[in-house]
Amino acid sequence: MADRVDRSLANLLEAPRDSEDHALAARYAPVIRFNDREPFLPLAAGYTIFRETGDSPSFRQGRHIALVAPGQPPAALAIEYAIWWDWDIGHLYELEHAWVYVDERGQVVRCEASWHGGHHDMRWQGRIELEGDHPVLYSEPGKHAFAPTTDWFAERRAKLPRSETSELAGMSGVLMATYLEGHVHPAPLHTTLVRTFLQQHAFEPAPSFGKRFAITADMLVPWPALEAWMPQRINHWLERLEREIPRVDYRFLRIGHRGARAHAPDNTIAGFRKAVGLGADMVEIDVQRTADGEIVVVHDGSLSDAAGRHWPIGKSTLAQLRAIDLGGGERIPTLSEALLHCRDAGLGVYIEIKDGGAVRGVVDFLVEHELEQHFWVGSFRPDWLAEAKAVAPQVVTSILFGSAELDPVKLAQSIGADYVHPCWGGRPNSSQLVTPQWMARVREAGLGVVIWNEERPSEIAALRQIGVDGVCSDAPELLR
């Protein structure tokens, strides 16, 4: 398979090209400085020559290339470089951009580059760093965003709650974009395989950026050739991972049940913080609506106050429920408080719907905040999950069930769910219910598997051998 992937790269680099445009692209191609521990380097770059103002064909966030811009030196032409890596430390494949503007004398007068979905000027302290005609770009460790100085990386890293290059390696799975739609169809298993592969390449950056990498003429192809090749490359990698990574090595998601229920009050911000400290990748939460229509994070149908009075969730207001101490001064969080806290903490969320009236509010919140691929929606009620998919098909859903006699594939397919979630925890040797035949059938249907709720090390070890995608536990440290 490795030879097949390498052959696919050779086919790309043999693509026909206009000799004049290719020579221009080679003359001004960037030189990139990488961290000493950077595991992934570019393989190719697609170029586009602008001899008049126009729109970028490759920058997926949209980009207008203006040769003459207010306050900027005029350019006779611009060259867009769409630079390809097979891997970002967070996901399969990377495409970063650089734009080099050249005046009538052939001198570089401007340089811009991509940075986490945006773009910026590459001047630093009033100048563009050049090696001859080649702009010098600094690449963020693992993430590959470009900057004119490595100071930017240190500043951004200091603001992150968890390390993108180690703790969060591989957590974004397969990066999808419009030019892959209809050509790449990643299943939950592929997400697990990508996570497994990238966790094996996790690293902490070195203090220096001594790796010099020049984009050479033989790496340069016209953008349409790169665009046509990218889906093939991704599909080749997905096939390779599936063949080469054994099930026993799958890096399943560590999901803290109701936060970290063994150590902190259920469904509380304190529980989410504890889960992060114990190495959880995600937390499972439960949501219901209050009498005044607020979506809150709570499992049981009622809360009890210090006087022993019961407050039904659906018949109490948010203010009444907030008055109740859940332990250690913790109060019931709203959906928005919980999800935004977890997002900012680098923690995924598995949202179990306990109240059908909350479905639309949950899905709308995920879509509004662009969290629908990283935060899941689960329920024992197939009709509620069907509603979630109808509102936003891109939302990841998981169907929960308790019977070992139920057909998980038919159930999931009937509502378009992405994961099946047998809730067999607590049964003697529950892992034996996940037979090789059961697992094969689920995988053939393109479904993922999450297991709930497991605290026994022997059962967790057995599930690891089976190759599931996620395991929930009250004590997430047991899943490490």
CATH of the domain at 374: 3.20.20.190
In sequence order, what are the residues at sequence separation of 6 or more whose Cβ sits closer than 8 angstroms to the Cβ of residue 411? 382, 399, 401, 417, 420
pLDDT of residue 145: 98
Judge if 294 and 233 occupy the same domain: no
Last residue of a domain, one of 226, 248, 270: 248
pLDDT of residue 256: 98
Judge if 282 and 307 occupy the same domain: yes
Judge if 134 and 168 occupy the same domain: yes
Last residue of a domain, one of 214, 231, 248: 248
Query: How would you classify the pairing of strands 348-353 and 220-222?
Result: unpaired
CA 108, distance to chain mean position in Å, is 36
Measured at the alpha carbon of residue 364, what is the angle toward residues 359 and 365, in degrees to the nearest 5? 100
Q: Which two tokens stand for residue 45?
A: 């770059």
pLDDT of residue 1: 43
CA separation for the pair 100, 12 (Å, rounded) = 23
User: In this structure, what DSSP letter does residue 333 have?
Assistant: P
Judge if 109 and 170 occupy the same domain: yes
Judge if 324 and 412 occupy the same domain: yes
Please, are residues 473 and 464 in contact by the beta-carbon 8 Å criterion?
Answer: no
Q: Residue 282's domain spans which residues?
A: 252-479
CA 366, distance to chain mean position in Å, is 14
Nearest to 355 by CA among 436, 409, 303, 301: 301
pLDDT of residue 155: 96
Taking the chain (480 residues) in consecutive chunks of 10 residues, what is each chunk's mean pLDDT? Answer: 71 95 98 98 98 95 92 96 98 98 98 96 96 98 98 96 97 91 96 98 97 98 97 96 97 98 97 98 98 98 95 98 96 98 97 97 97 94 98 97 94 98 83 93 98 92 96 96
Judge if 50 and 190 occupy the same domain: yes
Judge if 277 and 225 occupy the same domain: no
CA separation for the pair 147, 250 (Å, rounded) = 35
pLDDT of residue 5: 61
Please state the domain count of the chain: 2
CA separation for the pair 458, 199 (Å, rounded) = 23
Amino acid at the residue 452: W
Judge if 294 and 349 occupy the same domain: yes
pLDDT of residue 428: 79
Judge if 234 and 379 occupy the same domain: no
Last residue of a domain, one of 218, 248, 278: 248
pLDDT of residue 3: 55
Judge if 316 and 188 occupy the same domain: no
Judge if 217 and 265 occupy the same domain: no
Burial level of 428, CB count in 10 A (0-12/13-18/19+)? exposed
Nearest to 123 by CA among 154, 99, 106: 99
Please, are residues 368 and 340 in contact by the beta-carbon 8 Å criterion?
Answer: no
Judge if 126 and 235 occupy the same domain: yes
pLDDT of residue 341: 98
Nearest to 418 by CA among 400, 436, 431: 400
CA separation for the pair 365, 388 (Å, rounded) = 12
